[in-house]
Amino acid sequence: MENLDVMVLRTLRDWRHAGKRALLTTVVRTWGSSPRPVGSIMALADDGAVVGSVSGGCIEDDLIARYSHAHGNGEEVPVGAPPVLVKYGITADEAHRFGLPCGGTLELLLEYDPDAASLDTLVAELEQGRLMQRTVTLATGAVRLAEATAPDALKVNDTELTNTFGPEYRMLLIGAGQLAEYLATMAKFSGFAVTLCDPRAEYRTAWSLSGVEITTEMPDDAVLAFKPDRRSCVVALTHDPKLDDLALLEALQSEAFYVGAIGSRRNADARRDRMIEHFDQTAESLARLRGPIGIYIGSKTPPEIAVSVMAEILAVKNAVTLPREMEVARAKGMQQLAMG
């Protein structure tokens, strides 16, 4: 599954090129609990088609009913109408009606008939892997685009709104196999573009998951070609030092937000010792290397291990600090102490 924002913007662009009138909805502010974070977007066509989400569904239903109803009764929003800000869930009754959590309130920006040419440019830049800012002038709906230097939260003031859209998050998996297939599947559904590296033909023959780019280069060369950035993660799954170690060292030199390798506590310690002894690494240079990877959920089977690893990757991506008790090595160590 591709990046949701890119999918919404691409679909909206296609609707506009097809002559459809359409609405772009952005979550601008939230108060209390909210089903979707600030910056989330949804596109709605005049025929009721919808892509993306701004809530759990009830607000979408209301927007569809209002927008489609207006068109069906000849009450169309005038072409060129400026954006409007609307709030949902201000009262307890409204929160209940729209399925918002208790006390939750959303403010949305509704942009009518966004310009197709501007959407063309934005989607093309995102597809080239660029991070882009889209700024909307609230009084007129005029849009300007600029390349961003770093991810940023949505910003809004009395005159304009700026939302930063990033290219897809990417995952490089080193080593084919059952665990890699489960992890790749979860990554794809989480919006990651997945690349699999395995130079071993005998392992690749059993690979059956579509939509994954496959490279047969040596893993360290594959990391260099992958060019990990701040929206990338590198995960080594082969258990083979000849394949994993050099690739991990290359990944640690990059901006990848997550670099880790599967294995037991003993294997993880041995890996660090090898890198310090043979590759002039230090405890400080290896501080970003994760292993054993995953959070502790008592996982035993490949799908359970994949859930554990994907959960940790998403936590790091979302800047969530996990309790130390959830670290695999610490949790297993505590178990052994309790049993001893």
Are the C-beta atoms of residues 260 and 235 closer than 8 Å to each other?
Answer: yes
Which sign does the torsion angle of CA 91, 93, 95, 97 carry?
negative
For 196-220, give the secondary structure using H, E and C: EECCCHHHHCCCCCCCCEEECCCHH
SS3 327: strand
Q: Which amino acid is at 293?
A: I
Task: State which amino acid sits at residue 322.
Answer: L
CA distance 171 to 255: 13
Contact status, residue 5 vs residue 41, Cβ threshold 8 Å? yes
For residue 26, count CB atoms less than 10 angstroms from its CB and return exposed for 0-12, middle for 13-18, buried for 19 or more: buried
Given a contact cutoff of 8 angstroms between Cβ atoms, the answer to whether 27 and 36 are in contact is yes
Residue 36: which domain range? 4-165
- Is residue 54 classed as helix, strand or coil in its secondary structure? coil
Model confidence over 59-75: pLDDT tens digits? Answer: 888 888 888 655 555 45
- My answer on whether 144 and 240 are in the same domain is no
The DSSP symbol for 235 reads: E
Q: Do residues 64 and 199 both lie within one domain?
A: no
- Split into its structural domains, the chain has a count of 2
First to last CA, the chain: 46
Global confidence as pTM: 0.70
173 & 160 share domain: no
Q: Are residues 206 and 240 in the same domain?
A: yes
For strands 41-45 and 22-31, give the pairing. Answer: antiparallel
Main-chain phi, psi angles of 213, to 5 degrees: -75, 135
Same domain, 147 and 178: no
Q: Are residues 146 and 190 in the same domain?
A: no
In this prediction, residue 65 carries a pLDDT of 82
Please tell me whether residues 184 and 144 are part of one structural domain: no
Which of 112, 136, 165 delimits the end of a domain? 165
The torsion region of residue 224 among left (phi > 0), alpha (psi -120 to 50) and beta comes to: alpha
Last residue of a domain, one of 147, 165, 183: 165
HSE (CB half, 13 Å, CA atoms) of 333? 11
Instruction: With CA atoms as reference, report the closest residue to 105 among 87, 119, 123.
Output: 87
Residues 186 and 85 in one domain: no
Instruction: Verify that 156 and 225 share a domain, yes or no.
Output: no
Residues 205 and 248 in one domain: yes
Check whether residue 76 and residue 201 sit in a common domain: no
CA 321 to chain centre: 17
The confidence score (pLDDT) of residue 78 equals 73
Torsions phi, psi for 110 (to 5 deg): -105, 115
CATH number, domain of 332, equals 3.40.50.720
Q: What is the distance between the alpha carbons of residues 271 and 303, in angstroms, rounded to a whole number?
A: 24
User: Are 137 and 207 in a shared domain?
Assistant: no
* Residue-level pLDDT at 1: 47
pLDDT tens-place string over residues 262-321? 999 999 999 999 999 999 999 999 999 999 999 998 888 999 999 999 999 999 998 888
Q: Which residue, of 165, 183, 202, is where some domain finishes?
A: 165
User: pLDDT tens string for the chain (340 positions)?
Assistant: 457 898 899 999 999 999 999 999 999 998 766 667 899 999 999 888 999 988 766 788 888 888 865 555 545 677 778 999 998 875 666 666 666 655 578 899 999 999 999 999 999 998 887 889 999 999 999 999 999 987 788 999 999 999 999 877 899 999 999 999 999 999 998 889 899 999 999 999 889 899 899 999 999 999 999 999 888 999 999 999 999 999 999 999 999 999 999 999 999 999 999 999 999 999 999 999 999 999 998 888 999 999 999 999 999 998 888 876 667 766 666 666 666 6
Give the pLDDT of residue 255. Answer: 93
